Amino acid sequence: MALLDLTGKKALVTGIANNRSIAWGIAQQLHQAGAELAVTFLPDEKGRFEKKVRELVEPLNPSLILPCDVQNDEQMEDLFQTVGAQWGQLDILIHCLAFADKEGLTGDFSDIPRESYGKALEISAYSLGHLARLAKPLMTQGGSLITLSYLGGVKVIPNYNLMGVAKAALEMTVRYLAAELGPQGVRVNAISAGPIRTLASSAVGGILDMIHHVEATAPLRRTVTQTEVGNAAAFLASDLASGVTGQILYVDAGYEIMGM
């Protein structure tokens, strides 16, 4: 029987902010399966994010800890040049990046400003294709790209507004990238996770009500954990998922299947 083993695999994980981040849960499970890690942080003037990420990931002994602002083309190119110089190849890329400002998450959808719309789509969806373009030359032995989506990309969720459109764009980006990268053995998939209390989800109004609703409605009568999402990501990154690409895998305690 095949076992989930990522020994010798090189994995770049983006989007870790703190110990509640889904990206943190994924990084832990990749490490546990034997992958060698590089992680990124969003740089800020006072270096607070870098300090927090460095302290958090220390037990995982990452080979690289690098800045990653997806709106900074030069920084993105430097990131992958450094990864290439250190490793020579890349096997796994984890994309856990999303953003929408307050104007994109509240009020009437038709009132969302043009600037808010463009920024959310750039950071939340376009960035996956940008990362893929830079990673492609390093994924010479095939590989796996994994991103995070949410049910709000296919159904209307209160207070999700613009992020719903961004996640819909992200899911189609997954499919087009899967078609593009498949011939070189690179698989591209998304995990649609149930609501989890994270720094990002705290910006969505009524997140606790959403979590309680899932606990009352989902077939498993609970929400999911960062570890469960991490386990799914490790599976998609492994040879056990060698025939899976272009898919949206729901890890939400079954909530997505329910009607009334």
- Give yes or no: 250 in active site: no
The span from the CA of 61 to the CA of 22, in Å, is: 19
> What is the domain count for the chain?
1
Q: Which distant-in-sequence residues (6+ apart) come within 8 Å of 110 by Cβ?
A: none
pLDDT score recorded for residue 211: 87
Q: Say which DSSP state 71 is in.
A: T
Q: How far apart are CA 118 and CA 104, in angstroms?
A: 10
- The reported pLDDT for the residue numbered 97 is 97
Catalytic residue among 117, 126, 160, 250: 160
- CATH number at 65 reads 3.40.50.720
Query: Residue ranges of the chain with pLDDT lower than 50?
Result: 1
68: left (phi over 0), alpha (psi -120 to 50) or beta: beta
Q: How confident is the model at residue 143, as a pLDDT?
A: 97
Per-residue model confidence (pLDDT) at position 166: 98
Pick the catalytic residue: 117, 126, 150, 176? 150
Give the residue numbers spanning the domain of 201.
Answer: 10-251
| Per-residue pLDDT, 198 | 61
Eight-class DSSP state of 204:
S
pTM for this one?
0.94
pLDDT at 3: 72
Domain assignment present for 239: yes
- Does some domain include residue 4? no
Q: Can you give the pLDDT at residue 1?
A: 42
Check if 150 is active-site: yes
172 occurs within a structural domain: yes
Domain membership flag for residue 1: no
Q: Which two tokens stand for residue 224?
A: 């999911």
